[in-house]
Chain A
């Protein structure tokens, strides 16, 4: 489904670029990687709009951004995000950053196992705080279907986090 082409794709993208950055950052945890993804998504957006503008730009951008972030995560060797300046301050902060890296990796790994629709619905609900009715309208789904996607996705992420926590506990007893 598509709508008439917006006059200026760059201006249209402008409305969502904070969201695009945030969606990418949550999965990647590094400013420069998130910017790279945002730039790549911008290019895809310009090309897509020139063919046919998506009916629901935000939903389209969310799906493409999450997919690109996951692709980037898969293709690059994981580096600790502790290289970030503010996270170098002391061992305590490093521990905290390490835990956040592990959490981010676990969430990203769980997201990889979800369907594209489940990822998008979960992100729309948890991070964008849309209502089920808004998500349903954005994705062209019925509200009960959205709730089903949401719960399945949330349970999958929970199970993955739990599994990772158990593995960490086995590897380093008493750490968490």
Chain B
């Protein structure tokens, strides 16, 4: 058997994509070739190691790897909205308890910054349709309609985006690219015009 064919079977075996006849054939090859068996073992360990890095809440036990012939486990949602998994009981960080004033001050400042940036974004976008910032700026405007009438149905789209960006911004205790995001989108709109 050529190395190419062997590698194709090896990839299929590791990915659990061989049919029954191919799997039996490959396993008999492994039985006859300890080097091949050792390679399979080392590659499976590598897959396990990589899966041990899965994001919190990914719905898979860290490092789990399906054995050939097993049923594929369904994937569940991953933690994005809530961030990392909630702290385990009994391991509340002492740092956050001892610095309540700093935490509150930080939150207030962040809210103030978000409001200020939202006003700045409004200033940037003045005189332009809200949807131009997020969608196709080259689309022709309907003729003969007042700009307010045109803008009304698309405003929720921009509003939702701003709200999402603000939520991401506020949820973080340090540093943000929120301002950079707004400026980058506004600049991209200018370039396209």
A interface residues, Cβ below 8 angstroms from B: 5, 7-10, 17-19, 21-22, 25-27, 29, 31-32, 34-36, 38-40, 43, 46-47, 50, 84-86, 88-89, 100, 103-104, 107, 125-127, 129, 131-132, 144, 147-148, 150-151, 154-155, 157-158, 161-162
Contact = CB atoms under 8 A, between A and B. Distances in A.
Nearest to A160: B46
Most buried by B among A31, A103, A148, A157: A31
B134 A46 contact: yes
A29 B84 contact: no
Interface stretch (B47-55, B117-125, B142-150): B47-55
A88 B91 contact: yes
22 contacts: A5-B136, A10-B134, A10-B160, A18-B77, A21-B78, A21-B80, A26-B50, A36-B175, A39-B177, A43-B185, A47-B188, A86-B87, A89-B90, A100-B52, A100-B53, A107-B53, A126-B50, A131-B15, A144-B4, A151-B10, A154-B47, A162-B42
Nearest to A20: B80
B55 A34 contact: yes
B55 A161 contact: no
Nearest to B161: A10
Given A26-B55, A86-B85, A127-B51, A132 B91 contact: no
A25 B50 contact: no
B55 A147 contact: no
Given A86-B85, A127-B54, A148-B7, 10 more contacts: A22-B78, A26-B53, A26-B54, A39-B165, A40-B177, A50-B136, A100-B52, A103-B49, A103-B52, A107-B49
